[in-house]
Every structure is written in C-alpha cells, then in structure tokens.
C-alpha cells in the first residue's frame, strides 16, 4: 500500500473526507483496482454516480469524440450535446425545459431561486423538506436539511424553510398551508438510509397540492437516471412533480446536474437571471447522452431485474440474521440493509473481503452498485455479507 500518498494527502488536502484506505490505480466495470494490484467489487459506484460502471467504452468514445471537437466554449454559444441531452431528458420525464448545472447542490440552489420567484407571484414564500433528506452542501440545500453534523455552528440559514418528519402524513397536514411555495423530497432517500416514500404519504401530498397549489420538487440526484429500475424514482408513484433536479448518474462520472421543469414554469426565469460558466459542459453532456443510450439498450431494465434478485437475496439473509438485519430497503439497485448495529462495522468487514459499500444514516448499509452488474456480482456480495455477519 502506498502509505506515502496517504500521508501526503493528510498533509496537503483539507481533512473533510473520511476515506477508505485504498489508493486507486484504475477501475473497470464494477471493479476497482488498487496500486498493490488488489481488486474490489464496487457496490458504491462513486456514490451512486457510475451508472454504467467504470471506464465504459461508450462513455470513453463519446467523451473522446467531443474533446476533439471542443471542450468548453461557454453558454454564449449554441451547443449540440446540450440540446440533444435536454431533448432526451424531456422525453424521459415528459417535462418541458431543462437548465444544466454542474452538481446536485447547484441544481438545488437554482430550484430554490425558481420556487421563490414563482412564489413571489403567488404570494407564497415557504419551502418544506423532510428529515433524513440530503440535498447538498450549499446554504440553500442545508436550509432544507436537518442533520446536525452538516450544519453545526454554520448558521444563520435561509428563512422560510422548514424540515418536517418524512413519511408523517399528520405532520405534513399540520405544516402545509397557503404560504407553502414548495415541498422538496427524495422519493427514495439515499443518505437518509435508503427509505422510500410511503404511497399514503404521496397521496396526501397530491391531495394537499390540489388544495393549496404548491410546487412539488423531486430530488432525483441519487435515485434518478435509472437507478431504481425506472428513469426517475417518482415514476414508481401515481404523481407527477412540477420540478425535478438531477445530477450524479446523468454525467456518467463527469460533473453535470439538471433542473427539469413543467411547461407552466418554463418562463419563471428571464434571460440573465440564472446561469453558470460550466453548466451543460459539452463533454459532460456527451457522456450523459452515452449514459441514456446505454440505459435504453437494456441497462435500466437490468437495474430493475437484478435489483429484484438482490432484494430477495437480501431478504433471505435477513431471515438468517433476524436480530442483525432489521429491514431490507429501497428499489432497483438502490438498496439498504437497516441493521441493529453500526453499519460502519459491516463496511469494514466487507472491505476485508474486497467489497466496497458504505454506511448511510449510521445504521444502514447502502448498496448502490453500477447498474451493469449481474447475478454473479450479487452472489459475490452475498457470500461476503454472510461471512461478515457471522463474525459481527
Ligand atoms: N441530492 C441528493 C439526493 C444527493 O444524494 C446528493 C449528493 O449526495 C445531492 C443532492 C447533492 O449533490 P452534489 O454532491 O452533486 O452536490
């Protein structure tokens, strides 16, 4: 192991990340290789980013071709990769307009501005989000989140923002009123412990939206781009949001985010009101087009099918270790094992067995592999999980 590089990292990089003790050499498909030649099976996928796995030939080809044409020209110009990707996202969502950003949190900020401007015209100011939600690290996003670690001694945050209990219909009914401009939610929470919205909760949102006319914002940063077996997680429910925002998977490993809005909202920003130098970078958009092409060729279907296979395998494991595994959560290839103990212990045991996964919300093991995995990789995971649970 190159301890020298780890020491140098400690000396030169601001210590905000808790890294795994692995120095990466290269990565391919669902495997990561360290500089000592060890191979790891990747059930983290760059934190739910590498939908097609690592070094996918279609992404490499698309990126190479685009780099040879132009890498960055700015949003002063019309650029085909942006337009083609926006058209694809419209087709997948049934929405009307796309604004490209560079990350999830940046998309969240744009959404807040859009909601506030829409609210200004409708005499509505307030936004409501939910416990366990994660929307990013910038001030607007943090104002819609509750986890103390992310916010400690950093206030004041934005006013007019409230965080109420996820999946609690009564709390929702108590807090929503005619001043509510928007609700922001993940239909499947990632960082919050891979928790899905209850259908009753979603029905209540629908009913209250009809009554109070607020905007429903779906954070599809982690659960979108095919991860749950449908292109967007909201598509598992009988509801259509007014705004979607996405990032992670859509860039295929390059920084890219998007805000996607309904026709009614397509005129809320006027020219010059919102923008970013890099948003919709043509290389990132070319990668995004390759991602969608491959999803359409059967990878999204695979996420659904293998996701089911993984689910039932994890359920079998739960029956074997009922005091250790309390619940199997999630949809498609966004799965969580809710444990009766600190999930970091299981992460460490899995790492000893060369499987990479991480903990979400303390007691949930999060499994967000590349969407290209097959039964063999799931079986490999299950063997490692079973051995790990025996010794914990
Ligand atoms: N929203 C969700 C659901 C996320 O999981 C994340 C990141 O983990 C974000 C927003 C923020 O995205 P980014 O890290 O690209 O700013």
What was the pLDDT predicted at 296? 98
Is ligand 1 within 6 A of the CB of residue 79? no
pLDDT at 328 over 60: yes
Is ligand 1 within 6 A of the CB of residue 190? yes
pLDDT at 1 over 60: no
Task: Work out the average pLDDT over 193-206.
Answer: 98
Angle at 162 between CA 161 and CA 165, to 5 degrees: 155
Is ligand 1 within 6 A of the CB of residue 361? no
Q: How far is the CA of 211 from the centre of ligand 1 (A)?
A: 30
Task: Work out the average pLDDT over 239-253.
Answer: 98
Helix (H, G, I), strand (E, B) or coil at 97: strand
Instruction: Count structural domains, the chain.
Output: 2
Q: Confidence class of residue 333 from pLDDT cuts 50, 70 and 90?
A: very high
User: What is the residue with the minimal CA distance to atom 13 of ligand 1?
Assistant: 104
Residues 208 and 306 in one domain: no
Please check whether residue 341 is in contact with residue 323, taking contact to mean a CB–CB distance below 8 angstroms.
no
Residues 100 and 204 in one domain: yes
Residue 39: other Cβ atoms inside 10 A? 12
Strands (E), the chain: 24-28, 31-34, 39-42, 97-101, 126-130, 161-164, 180-185, 188-189, 195-196, 215-219, 243-246, 257-261, 325-331, 334-339, 355-356, 358-360, 364-367
pLDDT at 374 over 90: yes
Among residues 246, 147, 273, 136, the alpha carbon closest in space to that of 187 is found at: 246
pLDDT at 113 over 60: yes
Atom of ligand 1 nearest to the CA of 106: 16
Residues 239 and 277 in one domain: yes
Atom of ligand 1 nearest to the CA of 255: 15
Residue numbers of the domain that contains 377:
2-55+299-391
Residues 211 and 177 in one domain: yes
Residues 95 and 195 in one domain: yes
Residue 169: its H or E element: helix 169-175
Among residues 131, 129, 155, the alpha carbon closest in space to that of 144 is found at: 129
Is ligand 1 within 6 A of the CB of residue 34? no
Residues 241 and 289 in one domain: yes
* Tens digit of each residue's pLDDT (9 = 90 or more) over 286-305: 999 999 999 999 999 999 99
pLDDT at 275 over 80: yes
Atom of ligand 1 nearest to the CA of 137: 16
Residues 183 and 68 in one domain: yes
What was the pLDDT predicted at 41? 98
Task: Work out the average pLDDT over 341-357.
Answer: 98
Residues 6 and 100 in one domain: no
Residue 63, phi then psi, degrees to nearest 5: -65, -45
* Tens digit of each residue's pLDDT (9 = 90 or more) over 132-159: 999 999 999 999 999 999 999 999 999 9
Helix (H, G, I), strand (E, B) or coil at 117: helix
Is ligand 1 within 6 A of the CB of residue 225? no
Residues 62 and 198 in one domain: yes
Residues 40 and 134 in one domain: no
Domain end, chosen from 293, 319, 351, is at 293
What was the pLDDT predicted at 161? 98
Residue length of the chain: 392
Domain end, chosen from 263, 293, 323, is at 293
Q: How far is the CA of 68 from the centre of ligand 1 (A)?
A: 30
Q: How far is the CA of 8 from the centre of ligand 1 (A)?
A: 28
Per-residue tokens: 382: 């299950």
Q: Rounded to whole angstroms, how far apart are CA atoms 6 and 195?
A: 34
pLDDT at 17 over 80: yes
What was the pLDDT predicted at 347? 98
Residues 26 and 97 in one domain: no
What was the pLDDT predicted at 3? 65
User: What is the residue with the minimal CA distance to atom 10 of ligand 1?
Assistant: 135
Q: How far is the CA of 212 from the centre of ligand 1 (A)?
A: 28
pLDDT at 257 over 90: yes
Q: Confidence class of residue 201 from pLDDT cuts 50, 70 and 90?
A: very high
Strand partners, 8: none
Q: How far is the CA of 154 from the centre of ligand 1 (A)?
A: 19
Is ligand 1 within 6 A of the CB of residue 222? yes
DSSP code, position 230: S
Task: Work out the average pLDDT over 1-11.
Answer: 85
Task: Work out the average pLDDT over 210-234.
Answer: 98
* Tens digit of each residue's pLDDT (9 = 90 or more) over 145-198: 999 999 999 999 999 999 999 999 999 999 999 999 999 999 999 999 999 999
Is ligand 1 within 6 A of the CB of residue 191? yes
* Tens digit of each residue's pLDDT (9 = 90 or more) over 64-110: 999 999 999 999 999 999 999 999 999 999 999 999 999 999 999 99
Residue 61: its H or E element: helix 57-69
User: What is the residue with the minimal CA distance to atom 12 of ligand 1?
Assistant: 104
* Domain at 244, CATH number: 3.40.640.10
What was the pLDDT predicted at 2? 56
Is ligand 1 within 6 A of the CB of residue 219? yes
Is ligand 1 within 6 A of the CB of residue 186? yes
Q: How far is the CA of 369 from the centre of ligand 1 (A)?
A: 17
Q: How far is the CA of 195 from the centre of ligand 1 (A)?
A: 16
Residue 3 burial (C-beta neighbours within 10 Å; 0-12, 13-18, 19+): exposed
Residues 244 and 375 in one domain: no
Residue 71, phi then psi, degrees to nearest 5: -100, -35
* Domain at 325, CATH number: 3.90.1150.10
């Amino acid at each position: 192991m190159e301890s020298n590089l780890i020491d140098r990292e400690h000396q030169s990089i601001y210590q905000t990340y808790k890294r795994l003790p692995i120095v990466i050499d290269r990565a391919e498909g669902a495997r990561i290789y360290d500089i000592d030649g060890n191979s790891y099976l990747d059930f983290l996928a760059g934190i739910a980013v590498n939908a097609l796995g690592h070094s996918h030939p279609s992404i490499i080809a698309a990126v190479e071709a685009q780099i040879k044409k132009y890498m960055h020209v700015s949003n002063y110009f019309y650029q085909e990769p942006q337009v083609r990707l926006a058209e694809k996202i419209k087709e997948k969502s049934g929405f009307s307009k796309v604004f490209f950003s560079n990350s999830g949190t940046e998309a969240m900020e744009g959404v807040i501005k859009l909601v506030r401007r829409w609210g200004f015209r409708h005499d509505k100011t307030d936004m409501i989000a939910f416990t366990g939600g994660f929307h990013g690290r910038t001030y607007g996003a943090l104002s819609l989140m509750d986890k103390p670690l992310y916010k400690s001694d950093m206030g004041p945050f934005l006013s007019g923002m409230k965080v109420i209990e996820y999946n609690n219909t009564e709390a929702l009914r108590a807090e929503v009123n005619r001043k509510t401009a928007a609700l922001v939610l993940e239909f499947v929470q990632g960082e919050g412990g891979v928790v899905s919205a209850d259908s009753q909760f979603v029905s209540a949102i629908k009913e209250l939206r009809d009554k109070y006319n607020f905007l429903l914002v779906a954070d599809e940063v982690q659960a979108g781009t095919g991860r749950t077996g449908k292109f967007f997680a909201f598509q598992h429910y009988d509801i259509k949001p007014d705004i979607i925002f996405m990032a992670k998977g859509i860039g295929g490993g390059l920084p890219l985010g998007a805000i996607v809005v309904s026709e009614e909202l397509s005129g809320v920003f006027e020219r010059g009101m919102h923008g970013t130098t890099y948003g919709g970078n043509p290389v990132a958009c070319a990668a995004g087009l390759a991602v969608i092409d491959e999803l359409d060729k059967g990878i999204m279907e695979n996420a659904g099918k293998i996701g089911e296979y993984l689910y039932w395998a994890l359920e079998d494991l739960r029956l074997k270790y009922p005091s250790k595994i309390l619940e199997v959560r999630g949809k498609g290839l966004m799965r969580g094992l809710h444990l009766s103990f600190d999930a970091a212990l299981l992460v460490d045991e899995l790492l000893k067995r060369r499987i990479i996964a991480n903990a979400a919300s303390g007691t949930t093991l999060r499994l967000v592999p590349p969407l290209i995995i097959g039964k063999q990789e799931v079986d490999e995971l299950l063997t490692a999980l079973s051995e790990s649970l025996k010794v914990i």
